[in-house]
Amino acid sequence: MGRDTIADVITSIRNADMNKKGTVRIASTNITENIVKILLREGFIENVRKHRENNKYFLGLTLQPRRNRKGPYRTILKRISRPGLRIYSNYQRIPRILGGMGIVILSTSRGIMTDREARLEGIGGEILCYIW
């Protein structure tokens, strides 16, 4: 059985955020790079740096600092579709997280994109994760 790299990325970011760490190092693949680009564009990640160690590429992520480190403000990432149960949706039935304040990341035939982009283009796909 293969590894679920998307779940590894989500778990690494969630654990770093809960433990108030500023940086995370994750393995670099095409899927993880596209997900990180979306997180960077939406403001959940402050900076991304790609580096190489022993012929393997890694992404060094700098998480967005919380406004109030003691408060309950946290980035919540939840994996939806997984290797044992794939969840697909057409563009009309893509869920709205927190009334549109959250983000749904989809894997479509045109690449990995957010729910807003998929609705504008009129395409559906596999629901990878929710972010709010």
pLDDT one-digit tens code per residue, 30-40: 999 999 999 99
Q: Radius of gyration over alpha carbons of the chain, in Å?
A: 15
pLDDT > 60? residue 132: yes
Q: Domains of the chain: which residue ranges? A: 5-131
Q: What is the CATH topology of the domain spanning 5-131?
A: Ribosomal Protein S8; Chain: A, domain 1 (3.30.1370)
pTM listed for this prediction: 0.90
| pLDDT tens digits for range 24-77 | 999 999 999 999 999 999 999 999 999 999 999 999 999 988 766 565 556 789
Q: C-alpha angle 76/72/36, rounded to 5°?
A: 30
